[in-house]
Amino acid sequence: MFVESLKCIECGREYAPNAIVYTCEACGGLLDVTYDYSRLEASQLLEIWSRRPLSVWKYQELLPADSSRKVSLGEGGTGLHRCSRLASKLGVKELYVKNEGENPTGSFKDRGMTIGVTKAVELGAKATACASTGNTSASLAAYSAKAGLPCLVIVPSGKIARGKLVQAVAHGAKVLAIKGSFDDALREVRKLCEKRGLYLLNSVNPFRLEGQKTLAYEVCEQLGRRVPDRIVLPVGNAGNISAIWKGFKELRELGITRETPKMMGVQAEGAAPFAHMILQNLDKLTPLDKPETVASAIRIGAPVNWSKAKAAVVESKGGVTVVSDEEIVDAQRELARLEGLFVEPASAASIAGLVKMLEQGVISRDETIVCVATGHGLKDPDIVVRFYEEPFEVESSRVEEVVGRVLGCG
Ligand code: AN7
């Protein structure tokens, strides 16, 4: 392993890579895992990688956990789908969707959890814990089960999609549903982890984000060692945008690529504190008390990784946009019907955001664009029941008549 330290992004204080510390003890800043890149040679890395299948652990030289003890369910290696039908509708030259719903528990969180839970075992943790809008809990519950570790998840009561809750329960996590928001749940679980020694696996955990950065390596490889002009993705706690940006920066640092993409974050109208901070050019994030959106995964008012994500947007010369719930559901339907990709509402926000940024002229139509679809559509079946047309109910004796007359496809 080539890991050097955990380093505070605010004051620069460093911690040993095997320390159980989530934020800087001196200033409260977020921590970043640092590596000795000078010991890594691009041609050597590419040679080793060429012999391994596409997956998170393919890139183990750039990961902070011991691959010989990995807790894995076969994460990463998700499809990068060329979306020609949607592209032609939008008038875009080259559009791809990185479909993270193909991960073992159906979301990008698995990339982080394989590293985070491997690390939990390595550090001797007795149990894992997280707060969640759904996917984090589903993923942590599965990886903790695989590792044989008890798992506690705290969710905002009545506010997480049914598919995700069912996963956490099925994998044997202890689920506490609190009266409050995700942000309240995160505050409580952070306190609990400090006091009771549970191992915290929200995205404030710097190791988890290391797993998530592998999406950048995969996209680059799937494009034939090319970097897209834009990565468009939903932003909730703002961990993923930070992680993916780090991945692209590392490829450039190592001399594997020369370019980096512009990172474009999308938030839902009722839960857009990060987008507003960027759009209004503010130094600090102002948390939102009662975030609301149909995209329950990103119903987050106080994104913990905002400062890392701000750096990602600024350094990459990227941007942000805000979309309505209606635009999100429309985008979900379009992607499902034009491309055969069924993604959850938060993921569809990336498509809705692309549509908006094309209209605004922020993104031009001749760019190579990758939208990240962060989670599978089956996670949240209630959305389809609420927003899509009902199945056509008919007496069995009238099927032929109805097909011909009403549906017009007899
Ligand atoms: C499908 O599960 O925060 O900006 O607790 O599930 O890295 O937070 C989920 C987040 C996007 C936002 N898309 O990613 C949780 C949780 C989906 C998600 C996000 C989430 P970040």
Alpha-carbon span 35 to 334, nearest angstrom: 42
84 Cα to the center of ligand 1, angstroms: 27
222 secondary structure, DSSP code: H
The pLDDT assigned to 325 comes to: 98
298 Cα to the center of ligand 1, angstroms: 6
Q: Which residues of 355-364 are buried (b: 16+ CB within 10 A; e: fewer)?
A: bbbbeeebbe
The pLDDT assigned to 375 comes to: 98
CATH, range 80-106+208-387: 3.40.50.1100
The pLDDT assigned to 122 comes to: 97
CA-to-CA dists, residue 121 to 50, 118, 125, 209, 255, angstroms: 29, 5, 6, 17, 33
- For ligand 1, atom 12, the nearest C-alpha belongs to 236
Evaluate whether 59 touches 67 at the Cβ level (below 8 Å): no
The pLDDT assigned to 403 comes to: 87
Of 213, 239, 219, 59, residue with least CA distance to 136: 239
- The residue assigned the tokens 């000795």 is 36
Alpha-carbon span 46 to 254, nearest angstrom: 11
What digits encode the pLDDT tens for the residues 7-59? 999 999 999 999 999 999 999 999 999 999 999 999 999 999 999 999 999 99
One-letter amino acid identity for 16? A
What digits encode the pLDDT tens for the residues 194-229? 999 999 999 999 999 999 999 999 999 999 999 999
Instruction: Please provide residue 347's backbone torsions phi and psi, each rounded to the nearest 5 degrees.
Output: -70, -40
Alpha-carbon span 181 to 192, nearest angstrom: 17
307 within ligand 1 shell (Cβ under 6 A):
no
Domain borders along the chain are 80-106+208-387
Evaluate whether 157 touches 179 at the Cβ level (below 8 Å): yes
pTM for the full model? 0.97
Of 282, 37, 296, 313, residue with least CA distance to 161: 296
The ranges of the chain with pLDDT < 50 are none
113 Cα to the center of ligand 1, angstroms: 13
